[in-house]
Amino acid sequence: MKLLVVEDDPPLQAALVRLLGRWGYACERAGTAAEALAWLEQEHFDLVLLDLGLPDRDGLAVCRRLRSLPRHQPLVLILTARDGRRDKVQGLEEGADDYVVKPFDPELLRARLRALLRRADRPLQCELSWGPLRLQPGQTTVLVHGRPLDLTPKEALLLEQLLRARGGQLSKASLLHGIGDGRREVGDDALRAHMRNLRLKLSAAGTAPTLIETVYGIGYRLDPAASS
Ligand code: CA
């Protein structure tokens, strides 16, 4: 069981690491969003304790980015001083699994952690969906308007990343990372070719031709207007 503590306040970060160690969890620490993302891209974590007020980027951006990673999806527990209802809803919408408000009671935090990790023990592959599309992560058959459509493994990985981003834009570099398994084995041309084939298959199966949008100079995203 490995945790990542993302917290920019040094005394609180140290206290969290100490508590987690005492409770038997191994953990790494990050003080900025950039450090957190660097950890998340190279290592597998079971759970991320995420502060929202970070010096470089909002913790929600970390959550969003994390949810667009094609594999290694850790649980996310937001730990923050923000206690507005809107912040909570937004955190959960960005893919957080739970939310604890600071200052927190250590025993409450421990109970929430246990409950989350227990839930994760029973692997429950969440179906990803967007408009007419339904995809089980790790599978190469997508349902389009309820009918199965076969994709190549790389097309399926591209679609999975786009579905996880839920209309958010993904850079070409991050999409490539996701289909090249971390090695830069496929270039921009290959990405364009996979994307063209994926679009052709999806539109032949009855989706709008604009379902996957090109974001010029950046990459791709699913058309937010097509989400329902
Ligand atoms: Ca903070």
For residue 177, pLDDT beyond 80 = no
Give the per-residue pLDDT at 15: 95
* CA gyration radius, the chain: 19
Distance 183 CA to ligand 1 centre (A): 33
Model-wide pTM > 0.85: no
Higher pLDDT, 124 or 72: 72
Q: With cut-offs at 50, 70 and 90, classify the pLDDT of residue 185.
A: low
Nearest partner of 74 among 41, 106, 101, 51, judged by Cα = 41
Compute, in angstroms, the gap from residue 100 CA to the centroid of ligand 1: 14
pLDDT band at 126 (very low <50, low <70, confident <90, very high): confident
Give the model confidence (pLDDT) of 127-173 as tens digits: 889 999 999 877 888 999 999 999 988 899 899 989 988 888 888 88
What domains appear along the chain, each with residue ranges and CATH number? 2-121 (3.40.50.2300), 128-226 (1.10.10.10)
Query: Where does the pLDDT of residue 91 fall: very low under 50, low under 70, confident under 90, or very high at 90 and above?
Result: confident
Ligand 1 centroid to Cα of residue 9, in Å, is 6
**pLDDT bucket at 72, cuts 50 / 70 / 90:** low
What are the tens digits of pLDDT across the range 12-32?
A: 999 999 999 888 888 899 999
Tell me how far the alpha carbon of residue 37 lies from the centroid of ligand 1, in angstroms: 16
From ligand 1's centre to the CA of 1, what distance in Å?
25
Residue 135 to residue 143: CA distance in whole angstroms: 6
Measure 8 CA to ligand 1 centroid, in angstroms.
5
- Residue 189 CA, ligand 1 centroid: distance in Å: 41
What tokens were used for 215? Answer: 């974001």
